[in-house]
Amino acid sequence: MRHFLNLMPHPPELLRDLLTNAARLKKAHEEGKDPNSLCGKVVGMVFEKPSLRTRVSFEAGIAQLGGTSIFIPGSEIQLGQRESLADFARTMSQYVNGLVLRVFRQETCDEVSRFASVPVINGLSDISHPCQAMADLQTIEECFGTLDKKTVVFVGDGNNVARSLAVACGKMNMKFILAAPKGYEFEKDFLQRLSVKVNNADIVETNDPIAAVKNADVIYTDVWTSMGQEAEREIRLKTFEPYQVNEKLLSKAPKHVRILHCLPAHRGEEISNGVLEGPASVVFQQAGNRLHAQKAILEYLLGGK
Ligand code: CP
Ligand code: NVA
C-alpha cells in the first residue's frame, strides 16, 4: 500500500514525477480541463488542528478531479481515544479510498497507515509537512526554471515545515541552510536518518541568519510557535527576535532572491509586512500550488497517473 507520510522514504524520481504531473495538472486546471481521475473515489479527511490551505486545497482538488471528500474534525473522531487507531483505520478503509490526516503526533499517522488498507496522506504533523514541501518545490522550480543546485535558506524554527523542506531539497540536489537559534536546530537523529537516505545531502545549520542568506536563492520562514506549542509562545518570541525576515536581512541576500512562507504568517514576528508584501515574495503563488501539488499526490496514490 502506498502512503505519503513523510518524504524521507520516497526516491527523487518519484518527487520528480510528482512535480512534473503537478505542473501538468496546473496547466490543465488553468485551461478548464481538469481530468476526471478521482471519479468515484471518496477521501476521508480527519484534522485535529485548524487549517485553511490544506483543508480547502484538498477538498477543492478532490472535487475538481471528480472525487468526493468527507471532512471530519478531530474532535468528532477523537483519534486513538474513542477507539484505537487500528480500529479506526480498518473501519475507515472500508468506507473511503484514501485518508488525509492532520495530527498532533506523527506517530498517529504512521500507526493509522500500518492498519489502513487505503493510502494515508500526512496533511501536517508535529514532525513533518510533506504536502507543503511538494508545493514549495513546485514554486521554486517555477521561479528559477530548475531546482538543481538552488540554495534554500530557512530562517527560524527547525520545525515540521523546515524538516520536510530539508528532505525535499536533499533529494532534489539542492542546498539547504537552516538558520535557527541554539536549541531550535534539527535533531541529530533526523540529520542522521537524512544522511542515510540521501547520499551527500547538502544540509548546513547555523545560528547566523545574515551569513546564511548571502548566497540564497530562496529565503523561507514559518511561524515561531507552531500549533501545539502555544505554551512556549512568550519564550519563543524573545528567542527568535533576531531571526525575523525583514528588509535588513533581505538587503544581505542576492537581488534575485525569492521569499517563501507556508502561511499563515504573523506579520511583525517571523516576517515583516514589507517583505511579505514586497516584490520578492511569492507566498500566494506558493499557497496556490498546494492545490496542484496535492492533486499530483492524489493521482499517484488513488489510481490516476
Ligand atoms: N500551510 C498550511 O498548511 O496552511 P494551513 O495550516 O492553513 O493548512
Ligand atoms: N509550523 C506550523 C505550520 C502551519 C502550516 C505549524 O505546525 O503550526
ipTM of the prediction: 0.99
Is 3 tagged catalytic?
no
Element spanning 28, H or E: helix 12-30
Cβ pair 255, 19 in contact under 8 A: no
Is 78 within any annotated ligand binding site?
yes
**The three three-digit cell numbers of residue 304, written as one number:** 490516476
Q: What angle do CA 107, 227, 175 make, to 5 degrees?
A: 75
Q: Report the distance separating Cα 257 and Cα 249, nearest Å.
A: 11
CA of 279 to the centre of ligand 2 (A): 24
Helix (H, G, I), strand (E, B) or coil at 272: coil
Is 290 tagged catalytic?
yes
Is 34 tagged catalytic?
no
What percent of the chain is modeled with pLDDT above 90?
97
Strands 258-261 and 202-206: unpaired
**The three three-digit cell numbers of residue 228, written as one number:** 501545539
Cβ pair 47, 71 in contact under 8 A: yes
DSSP string, 179-240: E--TT-S--HHHHHHHHHHSTT-EEEEES-HHHHGGG-SEEEE--SS-TT-GGGHHHHHHHT
> For the chain, what is the largest distance between any 2 Cα atoms, rounded to a whole number of angstroms?
55
What is the pTM for the complete model shown?
Answer: 0.98
pLDDT at 157 exceeding the cut of 90: yes
Write out residues with Cβ below 6 Å of ligand 2.
124, 159-161, 222-223, 226-227, 262
Is 102 tagged catalytic?
yes
CA of 132, closest atom in ligand 2 = 5
Cα 230–chain centre separation: 20
Band of residue 199 on the pLDDT scale cut at 50, 70, 90: confident
Which are the contacts of 63, defined by CB distance < 8 A and separation ≥ 6?
A: 69
Of 163, 236, 262, 294, catalytic: 262
Which of 55, 154, 226, 290 is the pocket-test mutation for ligand 2 (most atoms within 8 Å of CB)?
Answer: 226
Q: Report the distance separating Cα 178 and Cα 185, nearest Å.
A: 7
pLDDT at 160 exceeding the cut of 80: yes
**The three three-digit cell numbers of residue 210, written as one number:** 545574515
Is 263 within any annotated ligand binding site?
yes
Angle between helices 12-30 and 160-171 (to 10 degrees): 100
Each residue's pLDDT tens digit, 113-126: 999 999 999 999 99
Strands 98-102 and 68-73: unpaired
Q: Report the distance separating Cα 22 and Cα 83, nearest Å.
A: 36
Is 189 within any annotated ligand binding site?
no
Each residue's pLDDT tens digit, 48-57: 999 999 999 9
Element spanning 81, H or E: none
pLDDT at 304 exceeding the cut of 80: no
Cβ pair 25, 295 in contact under 8 A: yes
